[in-house]
Structure 1
Amino acid sequence: MRQETLHQDFHPALAISTLDATTKTLSRMIDVQPEQLAEAANYMTNTANKGGRFILIGNGGSAAVAEQYGAGLPKWLTEGIENVDGPQSMGMYNPSTITMVGNDDGYENTFYNQMLLLDLNGNDSVIAFSGSGTSPNIVKAVKYAREKGANVIGMTFGDKGLAEEANVILTIPGDDLRALIPEEEATSQKDIQGPHMGEYEAIASALMFSLTKQTRQNLIKPPETDASLDLKLSIAIPTLIAIKNTIEEMLKNEKFIRALAHITQLYMNAYSSGGRVMFVGDESSSALSNHYGADAGKRPTVEIEGAKPSKAFSLTDSIPAMTMRLNNGAREIYSDRFRTYKPGDNDIIFIYSANGNSPQILNVVDEAKRHGTKVLGFTSGETGLINKADIVIKNPGKEKGLLADPENGVYIDFWMHALLEEFRRRVKKSSKSG
Structure 2
Amino acid sequence: MSVEDLVGLYLAERIAICEQFPVASVAALAEMLFDTYEAGGTVYAMANGGNSGTLDHAYCDFKHHPFVSEDKSRPLPRSVKRLSFVNLCGSPAELTGLVNDLGPDEMYVASLEPVVTRDDLVMAYSGSGNSPNVVRALEVAGQAGARTFAMTKGDGGRCRALADVCIVVPGSSRFPGQTGSNNNNFHFEDAMLSLNHILVGLLKQRVAERLARLPSGVASS
Please name the residue that 1:85 is paired with: 81
| Residue 64 (structure 2) pairs with residue 75 (structure 1) | yes
Structure 1 pair 191–159 and aligned structure 2 pair: CA distance change class (3 A): closer
Residues 166-185 of structure 1 mapped to structure 2, 5 A cutoff? 166-175=163-172, 177=173, 180=174
Indicate conservation of the 8 Å contact 1:49/1:219, yes or no.
Answer: no
Report the equivalent of 1:60: 49
C-alpha displacement at 1:51, in angstroms?
A: 2.5
Whether 2:14 is the aligned partner of 1:22: answer yes
Q: For residues 134 and 72 of structure 1, do their structure 2 counterparts lie closer, same or farther at Cα, with a shift above 3 Å needed? A: same
CA contact 1:139–1:162 (8 Å) conserved in 2? yes
CA spacing shift, 1:17–1:190, aligned 2, 3 Å: closer
CA contact (8 A) 1:22 1:199 kept: yes
Kindly report structure 1 stretches of 4+ aligned residues shifted beyond 4 Å.
Answer: 80-83
Supply the distance in 1 between the matched residues of 2:82 and 2:40 (Cα, whole angstroms). Answer: 5
Match of 1:107 among 98, 104, 107: 104
Give the superposition deviation at 1:10: 7.8
- Relative CO higher for 1 or 2, CA cutoff 8 Å, sep ≥ 6? 2
Q: Does 1:36 align with 2:25?
A: yes
From the superposition, tell whether residues 18 and 89 of structure 1 become closer, same or farther in structure 2 (CA, over 3 Å): same
Structure 1 position 102, deviation (Å): 1.4
Within a 5 Å distance, the mapping from 1:266-277 to structure 2 comes to none
Scaled by the length of structure 2, the TM-score of the pair is 0.81
Offset, 1:202: 0.2
Structure-1 residue corresponding to 2:215: none
**Greater C-alpha radius of gyration:** 1
Cα distance in structure 1, aligned partners of 2:167 and 2:27:
11
For the residue of structure 1 that corresponds to 2:167, the secondary structure is strand
Unmatched segments (≥5 aa) in structure 2 = 70-75, 211-221
User: Unaligned regions of 5+ residues in structure 1, if any?
Assistant: 1-8, 223-434
Show the counterpart of 2:216. Answer: none
Identity within the alignment, %? 20
- Give deviations 1:219-275, integer Å, cap 9, x for gaps: 3337xxxxxxxxxxxxxxxxxxxxxxxxxxxxxxxxxxxxxxxxxxxxxxxxxxxxx
Alignment deviations for residues 44-72 of structure 1 (CA, whole Å, 9 cap, x no partner): 11222233211110011221222211232
Deviation per residue, 1:340-390 (Å, 9 max, x gap): xxxxxxxxxxxxxxxxxxxxxxxxxxxxxxxxxxxxxxxxxxxxxxxxxxx
Answer yes or no: is 1:136 the counterpart of 2:132. Answer: yes
Root mean square deviation of aligned Cα: 2.3
Counterpart-to-counterpart distance in 2, 1:70 and 1:154: 17
Number of residue pairs matched? 201
The letter of the residue matching 1:156 is T
- Aligned counterparts of 1:207 and 1:36: Cα–Cα separation in 2: 11
TM-fit CA distance, 1:95: 1.2
Indicate conservation of the 8 Å contact 2:42/2:85, yes or no: yes
Are 2:212 and 1:221 equivalent residues in the alignment?
no
